[in-house]
Amino acid sequence: MLDFVYYPVSAILWFWHKLFGAVLGPDNGFAWALAVVFLVFTLRVLLLKPAIRQVRTTRQMKELQPQIKALQKKHDGDRQRQATEMQKLQKEHGFNPLMGCLPALVQAPVFLGLYHVLRSFNRTGTGLGQPGMTPTANASTPNYVFSATDVQSFLSARLFGAPISAAISSPEATLASFAQYGGVPTLATIAAVALPLMVLASLATHFNARASVRRQSPEAAANPQAAIMNKLMLWIFPLGVLVGGPFLMIAILLYWVSNNVWTYGQQHLVLARIDREEAMKLQEIAHRRPAAGPEPGARPTPNRRKRGRRK
């Protein structure tokens, strides 16, 4: 159904695995882990321009708030006229509200595509959307651009002794499928790797939310709806990572951590760059203005000119 997402995602993952596998070995767990991390970085680089546009759109929206409120007050009770004037205002300032949510809309299918591709390395499960293959059939079936040999390599990959395609909640039938590829892992081994990643993912989600809340204006933070959303981002979403973490394979937790780390760094770098650009614009505007006149109540400085002496 989403093959147009699955194939590009698997192709990028394949490229990074071949690169790191050539150095560390194709069955090395760190080679596969780095492939997942750099898949995230590659996708985020491709989305960097829309992300910067999103920040600019948010800033522009904040600047237009006084005019928007004036329009709403002026045409109170006439929603159609409000909408017409709002579109006119946005057109005058080159403002596109869709750019504010484009990165999030693009990342959603990418995450689903990555989740599907990674889960499709081990299709022995019988849960929702799982075909319930036998271990032998699964290991001999390609996974999008990955060959059957690549599938077996992924199953053999271990990160500190835990398969990166295993989760804390993986059923016994799924764990048994690793018997021929590095042995059946224990729950303690999987938890020893998954739990720290869950905590890191939860903390990264929380600190990203804190950085986002700090950028809000006092008026926006005082809004009841915004206050509720801030609490969700600060506490409920990070808690959701801890609650849902046992059901996510280690590779997905690696994706979550690396994605949040990238987001945290990107926010600070992009905002610092935009702040510098805005500061430079303000300086240019200040230099273009004519020299200011005397302050109110101050005596003007007489313009003394030397007069030549008459002969």
pLDDT at residue number 157? 92
Range among 111-115, 188-192, 272-276 with highest mean pLDDT value: 188-192
Whether the pLDDT of residue 126 is over 80: the answer is: no
Among 170, 194, 203, CA closest to 251:
194
Q: What is the pLDDT of residue 82?
A: 79
| pLDDT tens digit sequence for 67-93 | 877 877 887 877 888 788 778 877 776
Does 92 fall in a domain? yes
- pLDDT range class, residue 2, cuts 50, 70, 90: confident
Q: Is 30:61 a contact under the CB 8 Å cutoff? A: no
Q: How far apart are alpha carbons 57 and 191 in whole angstroms?
A: 42
Query: Is the pLDDT confidence value at 298 over 70?
Result: no
- Across 195-206, average pLDDT: 94
The Cα 151–Cα 169 span in angstroms is: 21
Instruction: Tell me if 39 sits within 8 A of 118, measured CB to CB.
Output: no
pLDDT at 140 over 90: yes
Would you say residue 203 lies in a domain? yes
Domain range enclosing 209: 3-125+133-286
State which of 34-38, 116-120, 171-175 shows the largest mean pLDDT.
34-38
300 — pLDDT class (breaks 50, 70, 90): low
The model scores a pTM over 0.85:
no
- Write down the pLDDT at residue 10: 95
- pLDDT-based confidence at 1, cuts 50/70/90? low
In whole angstroms, what is the distance from residue 89 CA to residue 83 CA?
10
Mean pLDDT for the stretch of residues 190-202: 95
pLDDT in the model for residue 143: 95
**pLDDT in the model for residue 17:** 97
Q: Which tops the pLDDT comparison, 49 or 33?
A: 33
| Per-residue H/E/C for the chain | CCHHHHHHHHHHHHHHHHHHHHHHCCCCHHHHHHHHHHHHHHHHHHCHHHHHHHHHHHHHHHHHHHHHHHHHHHCCCCHHHHHHHHHHHHHHCCCCHHHHCHHHHHHHHHHHHHHHHHHCCCCCCCCCCCCCCCHHHHHCCCECCECHHHHHHHHHCEECCEECCCCCCCCHHHHHCCCCCCCCCCHHHHHHHHHHHHHHHHHHHHHHHHHHHHCCCHHHHHCHHHHHHHHHHHHHHHHHHHHHHHHCCHHHHHHHHHHHHHHHHHHHHHHHHHHHHHHHHHHHHHHHCCCCCCCCCCCCCCCCCCCCCCC
pLDDT at 307 over 70: no
Give the residue-averaged pLDDT of 31-57: 87
Domain tally for the chain?
1
